[in-house]
Structure 1
Amino acid sequence: MDFTDVPPPAPEADEALIKVEAFAPNRGETFLLERPAAGLLPGKDIAGLVVQAAADGSGPGVGTRAVGHPPRGGWAEYAAVPTHSLAVLPHGIDSVRASALPLAGITALRLLRTVGSPAGRRILLTGASGGVGHYVTELAAAAGARLTAVTATPERGKRLAELGAAEVVHDVAEAQGPFDVVLESTGGPHLPVAVSKVRPGGLLIWFGQASRTPATLDFFELLGGPEGVTIQHFHYAGAPYGPDLAALVHLVERGRLHPEIGRVADWTEAAGTLVDLRERRIRGKAVLTTGAAR
């Protein structure tokens, strides 16, 4: 991976300029590097210091520490972030933990809103050892769900149990259904197996394809499986992100949400970190610091 010197971004009227203290790459972003588009500036999860307030008067002022979810350009010393995608950080939350919140945390919050009230419901979560999986597990369990997490190793399963998972299995086929809701993020051959675990009239929300393998559903097999199952596609995107970031920050501040950070490293170690993230050698989130982290 090559680094390039570019001028600091020129913020739009509704954007604040953030001096980045820490940023958290996401596994999906590593795939963008395979055939990078012209002008690609990756990076959506950052935390740092506001050094230039938005010209339109919105958002936090200069000197405020904030967490942000910019549309691009977060793997840098400075990032321009729309003020509707920022949340102020209290003194008790450092930039490393804060930078691990945006994409995974927002996805988890919005997934559970799509589910509706988790209380008393049986939920199956695949791909649970990633950043989204940890947040979903802790939030759903705290809301009263009985959650079964699918993860590859006993070590990762132990942590998910600590976060509230009622059961941990290492293959979706091992999960003892039926489940009211299945949250499926792996795709490929796992998707039809996950569908078979849904109770009649239940819901499967498909929110990822971590296996990078196309999924095939046999219509006749579906007819012989759970009756009336709903398969719903989910994507987290849709600004404003600020209110959800503020909610996540509040939960962390109150000790009700614990960012799972498997690696913290200096930005100069980005290449190796991105490879390990891509190859699933990092549990939860990876965070890179710029030397200014607090």
Structure 2
Amino acid sequence: MKALVPTGDLDSLVRYDDVAAPCPKPDEALVAVEAFSVNRGEFFLLARPREGWRPGKDIAGTVVRAADNGTGPGVGERVVAHPASAGWAEKAAVPTSSLAVLPGSMTAVTAAALPLAGLTALRLMRRIGGVLGKRILITGASGGVGHYFVELAAASGAEVTAVSASPERGLRLTELGAADVVHDVAEATGPFDVVLESVGGGSAPKALLKTAKRGTFIWFGQASRQPATFSFFDFFAGPESARLHHFHYADSDVADGTDLATLVRLTATGRLHPEIGRETDWADTATVLADLRDRRIRGKAVLRVEPAPTSGADRTATHAA
């Protein structure tokens, strides 16, 4: 079957190749992939790929072989899935605990935008606990996680301030319920009961200073790839006795499939709106990765898995335009 594999070349990170079809474990279903979405974290992994690793964590498609142990959806059911890797392919094996069935009204493109970003936003909500009446600041809000979180938190009664470098992107966050959108952390009017930081570098210490006394600072990403420096004495400038939490979306007591089912239900009932900034054929994946790196895509980028080129198994996947 065809799959996208790492090239190790920073100018064009993936190419098509012929690989063996996956052999599912007893608790895994085999999914014919119809669409997948790309995450910034995958770009960084592709820049220095591990031997034998293939990208792909957010997919949607149809079950073509049910799990041998009898769990999960049957053959022919449409699903959204969150495999550990190797989802950028014509087929993927996925544990049934990481699958959710799709309603007939939801397209594979919409569903593929849900997994990693949606799971992160949902689990950030769970980490915070009750958000009704809380003032929340979120940095790096123009990406997939930010859009989902703003909509979920605002609908649950939080007063959300979003940090977005782009006025255009900020407008959409306002439409999703943000009470305020600023273009730099320093512009946010604090203090905030909860601060969600995802940029790192100089953003993190500035965001800390916006945290209320005994508030909560949740560090869930470092998109800038720059380390952040905190001083013990910074806390006395306002966030005295604040709690600092490291957050990893995969550290969850709730199975991926269960949370994916929640995201599907919220989307199907019009309470959650995936923000898809780019939809194209998977032949364009290398270009999409570059645009994602350079922040030229708002929200999620989704690639449709259509027949791969036949002009050579090692053809580099690039934008055809």
What is aligned with 1:67? 80
Residue 222 of structure 1 aligns to a residue whose secondary structure is helix
- Give structure 1 stretches of 5+ with no counterpart: none
Partner of 1:183: helix, strand, or coil? strand
Task: Kindly tell me the number of residue pairs found equivalent between the two proteins.
Answer: 292
Identity level (%)? 63
Distance 1:141 1:219 in 2: 32
Do residues 259 (structure 1) and 274 (structure 2) align?
A: yes
SS in 1 for 2:199: coil
Amino acid at match of 1:102: P
RMSD over aligned Cα atoms: 1.0
Query: Which residue number in structure 2 is paired with residue 211 of structure 1?
Result: 224
Residues 27-66 of structure 1 correspond to what in structure 2 (within 5 A)?
A: 27-66=40-79
In the alignment, the residues of structure 1 paired with residue 123 and residue 81 of structure 2 have an alpha-carbon distance, to the nearest angstrom, of 17
Secondary structure of 2:23's match? Answer: coil
Q: Give the corresponding residue for 1:174.
A: 187
Matched with 1:271 is 286
Alignment counterpart, residue 157 of structure 1, candidates 129, 150, 170: 170
Q: C-alpha distance in 2, partners of 1:245/1:253?
A: 12
Q: How far 1:91 moved relative to its partner? A: 0.3
Q: What amino acid is aligned across from residue 198 of structure 1 in structure 2?
A: T
1:85 corresponds to which of 90, 98, 104:
98
Q: Does 1:289 align with 2:277?
A: no
Q: How many angstroms apart in 2 are the aligned matches of 1:224 and 1:173?
A: 14
Moved over 3 A (4+): none
Q: CA deviation at 1:25?
A: 1.1
How far off is 1:194 after superposition? 0.5
Aligned to 1:220: 233
Partner of 1:96: 109
C-alpha separation in 2, matches of 1:68 and 1:284: 19
In structure 2, C-alpha distance between the alignment counterparts of 1:226 and 1:289, rounded to whole Å: 46
Q: 2 CA distance for matches of 1:138 and 1:224? A: 31
What is the alpha-carbon distance in structure 2 between the residues aligned to residue 205 and residue 238 of structure 1?
14
Asked if 1:3 is matched to 2:16, the reply is yes
Structure 2 distance, partners of 1:23, 1:285, is 10
Which whole-Å CA distance do the structure 2 matches of 1:80 and 1:276 have between them?
A: 28
Which digits, 9 at most, give the CA deviation of each residue in 1:76-104, with x for residues without a partner? 11000000000000000000000000000
Q: Look up the match of 2:310.
A: none
Question: Is 1:26 matched up with 2:39?
Answer: yes
TM superposition score normalised by structure 1:
0.98
Cα shift at 1:224: 3.5
**CA separation in 2, counterparts of 1:190 and 1:145?**
22
Work out the CA distance in 2 between the residues paired with 1:88 and 1:73.
Answer: 20
Matched position secondary structure for 2:47: coil
The alpha-carbon deviation at position 254 of structure 1 amounts to: 0.4
* Corresponding position: 1:132 with 2:145: yes
Q: Which residue of 2 aligns with 1:246?
A: 261
Q: Deviations over 1:101-143 (max 9, x none)?
A: 0000000000011011111010001000000000000000000
5+ residue gaps in structure 2? 1-13, 308-321
